[in-house]
């Protein structure tokens, strides 16, 4: 996971958690991506592998303007 973040040049924090932590967030597939707002509130949960273009679009959508 960390290697993928580095390969896609994702500058955001990347964390790896166990299923008992992610289950309440609705994560049921590996890999999954959990987006948290700067205040710690859940923004979105997306399951399945994604490519660099997808991450770039999604991050631009949630960054403050």
In the predicted model, is pLDDT for residue 17 greater than 70? yes
On the question of pLDDT at 1 being above 70, the answer is: no
Containing 56, the helix (H) or strand (E) segment is: helix 52-62
Give the chain's mean pLDDT.
80
pTM (predicted TM-score): 0.61
How many other C-beta atoms lie within 10 A of the C-beta of residue 34?
17
CA dihedral 31, 32, 35, 36 (to 10 degrees): -100
Residue where the block lists tokens 């631009």: 60
pLDDT exceeds cutoff 80 at 52? yes
Using alpha carbons, select from 54, 58, 24 the residue that is nearest to residue 43: 58
């Amino acid at each position: 996971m960390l290697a993928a973040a580095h390969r896609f040049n994702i500058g955001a924090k990347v964390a790896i958690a166990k299923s008992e932590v992610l289950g309440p967030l609705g994560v049921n597939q590996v890999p999954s991506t959990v987006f948290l707002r700067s205040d710690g509130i859940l923004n979105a949960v997306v399951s399945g592998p994604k490519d660099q273009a997808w991450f770039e679009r999604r991050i631009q959508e949630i960054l403050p303007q």
